[in-house]
Amino acid sequence: MIVKDRNKNIIKNSDGSLDKAIRHVYGNAVGRFILRIFTQPIVSKAVGAFMDSRYSSPLIEPFIKANNINTDDYIMDDIDTYNKFFTRKIKDGKRLLDMNPKSFISPCDAKLSVYKLDSDSVFEIKNSLYRASDLVKCKKLADKYNGGWCMIFRLEVDDYHRYCYIDNGTKSKNNFIKGVLHTVNPIAFEHYNVYKRNCREFSVLHTENFGDVTQIEVGAMFVGKIANHHEKYSFRRGEEKGMFLFGGSTIVLLIEKDKLMPCSEFLENTADNCETIVKMGEKIGISLR
């Protein structure tokens, strides 16, 4: 996948080797057998407990060096487990929040793709294929967004893994959907004989300036944790909504028709099969209300 900045300069051009490796694992019997072992609840809990323990701390420094992370941007006090490092907080002033009520802001640091939505739209998220109705497991809710927009924010390991509210408003309770992995007959739009869905959590944000926005946090089938701070709640623009622990790394926003116009560079880059780098709090669209 090609990643560009907002001026359309190429920042990274992946050769797709990771995606090929993942597809190879899911596409053969041995790989699926190994995954079944690692997706057992007892294994998932053990890995999670390790990441929360001080025994995981030796992983931190090699990870920082391998991914060229500038730790000067972050509060690094009392970081003694890998998950504490993964969810490190950013220092004040390192992200500029656009407070114009008409500006639609990015909820996180990520690589962004933007798509027009209809009932037949299919999106690839963490190497699985979804329709909007698959993401929320509710056709009625998904149909609410036909003609609107789907924004996919893909966080990489070196990104800031906390995320904020995009506007002022109120939210529904959180709805958790458990991930699955099992062998099935080939699905029409898949190329390998496995059915795979990641765990995810969604809520409906009733915003002041952009109508109802459904936000979906996508984790992994195992280990990945989504830590949202609130159930039903009144929120303010830029307030921290939650964080991903190790294994969680995608946010999807579903936006209603005629409520928002994304900035043109995101549409153009997505049409060219490119992602665009965004930072939490920056303007990525404008209200049409």
With contact defined as beta carbons under 8 Å apart, do 114 and 270 qualify?
yes
DSSP 103-168: EEE-SSSEEEEEEE--TT--EEETTEEE-HHHHHT-HHHHHTTTTSEEEEEE--TTS--EEE-SSS
**Contact, 114 vs 150, CB < 8 A?**
yes
For 226, counting Cβ atoms within 10 Å of its Cβ (0-12 exposed, 13-18 middle, 19+ buried), the class is buried
Cβ neighbours of 13 (radius 10 Å)? 11
Q: What percent of the chain has pLDDT over 90?
A: 65
Cα–Cα distances (Å) from 112 to 35, 49, 163, 270, in that order, read 28, 31, 14, 8
Active site residue 56: no
Annotation says 109 is catalytic: yes
Residue 157 pLDDT greater than 60, yes or no: yes
Structure tokens at 183: 């062998």
pLDDT of res. 215: 98
For residue 23, pLDDT over 90 is answered with no
78 dihedral zone (left: phi>0; alpha: psi -120 to 50; beta): left
Asked if 222 and 65 count as a contact pair (C-beta separation under 8 A), the reply is no
Closest to 246 in 3D by CA, of 92, 63, 36, 111: 63
Place of tokens 């028709």: 257
Mean pLDDT along residues 99-104: 98
Can you tell me which residue has the tokens 């998904």?
142
The predicted structure's pLDDT at residue 179? 77
Contact yes or no for 122/130 (Cβ under 8 A)? yes
Provide the 8-state DSSP code for 223: S
Task: State both tokens at 7.
Answer: 């001026």
Q: Which of 85, 201, 75 is nearest to 135 (CA)?
A: 201
Domain residues of the chain, as ranges?
2-12+97-287
| pLDDT tens, residue by residue, 104-123 | 999 999 999 999 998 889 98
Interval 90-106 mean pLDDT? 96
106, 203, 249, 287: the active-site residue: 249
Q: Residue 74: is its pLDDT beyond 90? A: yes
Stronger pLDDT, 59 or 179, i.e. the higher one: 59
Q: From the candidates 56, 106, 109, 203, which is the catalytic residue?
A: 109
Q: Is the dihedral of CA 111, 275, 248, 257 positive or negative?
A: positive
Exposure of 47 by Cβ count < 10 A (0-12 exposed, 13-18 middle, 19+ buried)? middle
Q: Copy the structure tokens of residue 221.
A: 């089938």
The model scores a pTM over 0.85: yes
User: Is 217 or 127 the better-scoring residue by pLDDT?
Assistant: 217
